[in-house]
Amino acid sequence: MKPKTDLVLRSNYDKYSKDGYGTIGRPITLLSNFYRIENLPNDTIYQYHVVIGDGTRVPRKLVNKIWNSEDVKKFLKKSWKNCVFDGRSLLFSKDKIEDGATDVVVDPDRPERKVAFAIQRTSNINLETVTQFVQSRYSLDPQVLGGIMFLDLLLKKTPSETLYGFNRSFFTGNRPYQLGGGLDAWKGFYQSIRPGQGFMTVNIDVCTSAFWREDSLLRVLLDYTNRHHPNDLERMQLAAIGRRFRLLKVTCQHRNNAGTALSKKQYSIERFSSGSALDETFLRRVPNSDKEERISVADYFLEHHNVRLEFPNLPCAIIKNGAKLPLELCYIVKGQRYSAKLNSNQTAQMIRFACQRPHERVKDIEQFVHSSAWDKDPNLKEYGMRISRNMLDVPARILDAPRIMYHDDYEHPRDGRWNLRGKRFLITPDRPVRSWAVVCFLPTRILPNNKIENFLRTYVNTLTGLGISFECKNPRIYRQDPRGNLEGLLGDVIKKTADFHRATPDYLFFILDSNSPEPYATIKRLCNTKFGIPSQCALRKHIEGAKPQYCANLGMKVNAKLGGVNVHLEPKSFPLGNIPTIILGGDVYHPARGGSGASIGSMVGSIDLHGCKYTAMSRAQNRNQEMIQGMKDMVVYFLQGFRHITKKEPAQIIYFRDGVSDGQFKQVVDEELAEIKQACYFLSPKYKPRILVCSTQKRHHARFFVKKPQDGDRNGNPKPGTIVEKVVTHPFEYDFYLVSHPSLQGVSVPIHYTVLYDEIKMPPDQFQSLCYNLCYVYARATTAVSLVPPVYYAHLLSNMARFQDDTAKDDASSVASGATEPEEVKPLRKVAPSLKTKMWFM
């Protein structure tokens, strides 16, 4: 049934603004990494649209060259100095500049080569509207957005001239930390203009990023491929990894061009050649003749530059204009960010490099603020912008931890942690585990049966203690080669297990050698879609350790996969009370840059009255499409599931949406909320539950630091339950920051919650307690987690759903080069019906 068009709501944030503040919890004061802007520019700011050339994309280096040219300076006259230019098409100035255009000579040696530079005024910005906005007297309109954009660019102008800048992050490149594989980690600083309550602020944070090492391309290739000598590099291997090096900028240096302009000229790599420098040839004009002849790259460098290649058998780097450069003469230009996914070793190194204790982070931020010398910045002084050099104090509250309920016991966690000792899961499978098997992908000589059997004894005893009964305590162990036909092998194991136990396997247990994508991905795909049997994987090192704590961690996942529920909030700690409420979580997975496959929209929906048990659904959608497609059908499925299991119809819907930016909030309300309402209408035109939509964000740079030791945990971070909703939050929208988890290392990242739409009208204390308390019932942990579980489950679901996508490939293994063609979005393989009411994605 098609819904009526008047069901499509449009965003109206004024309607869902703050309705007071929370009051419960112990009040404290924290330091924040926000700095107050004490004085905004008083001038009217004029905004201009800049067109360079024919309006198509121009390389940043060329844009900078044009912008700093004498022709542009002459055209803009004295206004050039105070102009704030974004390096693309947006320009601000306090001067009125006449619309017009000029031609720019890019290369003095080629005066005939000219590029057009045109400018046109588009609007006037009164920054008084920004002041009124942060005082809740003016809405967020183009005037305010333009003013904030101008302030952001003005703040960036000076560091952009001296540092390596990427959007709002800046790096010096000093003291690089080697990650391996030809990459370095750099530490830098992030800065952003943010609205606060009553004033604008500057958010300053430490940031880290991976960069290509400034080194010989040949040495980087050896490091990247884990080879020790250039002769070990294989042409096929270089061709396969060529896409990783595409667009990497290099110079060509040798002894006969040292110190010259030619040695500094930058080239952009397209790919690596299939032939060697001896084999690769090109046509050149014969000296003193009109004839052309073919010459190899190696011979050309010998004749023209008097350079004999040391490794002429290696391929060449083919650059954008088709020229070919010997690998051994190429040097990587400093300051190029590595945008692809790091491998596991590099990720571990990056975490080690980036990890800081809170007081170290504060020190680094304060050092950056000191070195920025805002009071002496000529660009800020030009516009009269003043920024405090002191971190803002913010009021906060520490909420009490909830009590949680197991089968026959209650637990009141301390510092966000507890353990399972002496506890039984709240709800376990209806019948004992009767039919199961172990599949080991390692040979007996590496992992003998006696070690597996020793682990299984601990495993079965531990899970039995947690309330999961086993009729079969000694499952059969099968050995399989991971390189074989897994579909046939697993089908055979399932048949043998079913025949032996006279029952379909309740689940299968797999032992793997490492965390590598295979055979894990194939196991999950087959078990979740073809066979419909829950699966649990474990690594060899944990089997050998046979630790009860590890077995208990597995037990939490297994119980959820078999349909059980580990823990509930006790009734007094569940803010929703007896009102039947379905909780939804949504997220979208996007393939890494360079990878293949579609984006995947994932949602989970609760199917109990306590917000602890969830069913799930994923769908492939257009690549990089952030709004979840086909959401109406998903929500219909969740509502029907809730009604079928609980025998009640949800009176309320709470939807937590992760992964969207501030600029996409309106789109979530306009599109995804509309689909939720359409799903309700589809079930019945009279069915109109109250709905609340809340965004969750973890990719932000707000950080909070304790001023008194008693207000923090053992690592110096804010304690679990710390909530910030004043000073550095939005002037009038309903948002807050919540630290709900105990810190393991580094600086705790609070989750930023923003209520986008609210028909339920829960008081702030009630909704904030709900968000915090739910973090204690995440099925895989005995610690409070940092994010509400439905969003965590949507993350897990997205990762698992990738294995259902037949078009997706590991981005590191793809060989394609050049521009990517739009891919046809193929449906994901369907999850087997037998798993739909179980949390198979755990």
* Sequential DSSP letters for 479-512: E--TTS-HHHHHHHHHHHHHHHHTS--SEEEEEE
- The pLDDT of residue 813 is 34
- The pLDDT of residue 10 is 38
Among 384-393, 441-450, 522-531, 806-815, the minimum mean pLDDT is found in 806-815
Of 145, 245, 231, 252, give the one whose Cα is nearest residue 195: 145
Report whether 827 contacts 806 (CB < 8 A). no
Of all residues in the chain, the percent with pLDDT exceeding 90 is: 83
Q: In what order do the strands lie in the sheet with 410-411?
A: 410-411, 404-405, 568-569
The β-bridge partners of 285 are 292
- pLDDT average, residue stretch 627-637: 97
Q: For residue 162, what are the CA distances in angstroms to 149, 165, 171? A: 21, 9, 9
Of 3, 47, 56, give the one whose Cα is nearest residue 679: 3
Q: Roughly what angle, to the nearest 10 degrees, separates helices 217-225 and 235-245?
A: 110
Of 170, 175, 174, 149, give the one whose Cα is nearest residue 159: 170
Among 286-300, 319-333, 426-440, 827-841, the minimum mean pLDDT is found in 286-300
CATH class of 217-333: mainly beta
- pLDDT average, residue stretch 416-442: 96
Of 833, 823, 826, 836, give the one whose Cα is nearest residue 797: 836
Q: pLDDT tens, 40-93?
A: 998 899 999 999 998 888 888 899 999 999 999 999 999 999 999 999 999 999
What is the number of other CB atoms lying within 10 angstroms of the CB of residue 598? 25
- pLDDT average, residue stretch 227-243: 87
Q: Residue 455: CB partners within 8 Å, gap ≥ 6?
A: 542, 543, 544, 546, 551
- The pLDDT of residue 171 is 97
The pTM (predicted TM-score) of the whole model is: 0.92
Please identify which residue in the block is written with the tokens 């919540």: 738
Q: pLDDT tens, 424-434?
A: 999 999 999 99
**Cα–chain-centroid distance for residue 391?**
27
- The pLDDT of residue 284 is 87
Q: pLDDT tens, 733-756?
A: 999 999 999 998 899 999 999 999
- The pLDDT of residue 7 is 38
Q: Which residue ranges make up each domain of the chain?
A: 43-126, 217-333, 429-559, 580-698+789-810+825-842
Among 274-283, 492-501, 599-608, 808-817, the minimum mean pLDDT is found in 808-817
Q: pLDDT tens, 143-183?
A: 999 999 999 999 999 999 999 999 999 999 999 999 999 99
Helix (H, G, I), strand (E, B) or coil at 671: helix
Decide the pairing of beta strands 26-39 and 704-706.
antiparallel
- The pLDDT of residue 624 is 84
Structure tokens at 345: 């070793």
- The pLDDT of residue 807 is 55
Q: Mean pLDDT in the chain?
A: 93
Q: pLDDT tens, 579-622?
A: 999 999 999 999 877 667 889 999 999 999 999 999 999 999 99
**pLDDT at 264 > cutoff 70:** yes
Determine the Cα–Cα distance for residues 501 and 434; give it in Å rounded to an integer.
7
- pLDDT average, residue stretch 655-664: 95
Angle, CA of 246, 251 and 257, to the nearest 5°: 155
**Cα–chain-centroid distance for residue 487?**
33
Q: pLDDT tens, 174-208?
A: 999 999 999 999 999 999 999 999 999 999 999 99
- The pLDDT of residue 261 is 83
CATH class of 580-698+789-810+825-842: alpha beta
**pLDDT at 474 > cutoff 80:** yes
**pLDDT at 806 > cutoff 80:** no
Q: pLDDT tens, 277-291?
A: 999 999 888 877 888
- The pLDDT of residue 291 is 84
Superfamily for the 429-559 domain: Response regulator (3.40.50.2300)
Of residues 259 and 799, the one with the higher pLDDT is 799
- pLDDT average, residue stretch 247-272: 91
Among 309-313, 723-727, 803-807, the minimum mean pLDDT is found in 803-807
Q: What is the largest CA-CA distance in the chain?
A: 97
Of 426, 443, 437, give the one whose Cα is nearest residue 480: 443
Q: What is the DSSP letter of 403?
A: P
Q: pLDDT tens, 541-566?
A: 999 999 999 999 999 999 999 999 99
- The pLDDT of residue 809 is 53
What is the number of other CB atoms lying within 10 angstroms of the CB of residue 304? 11
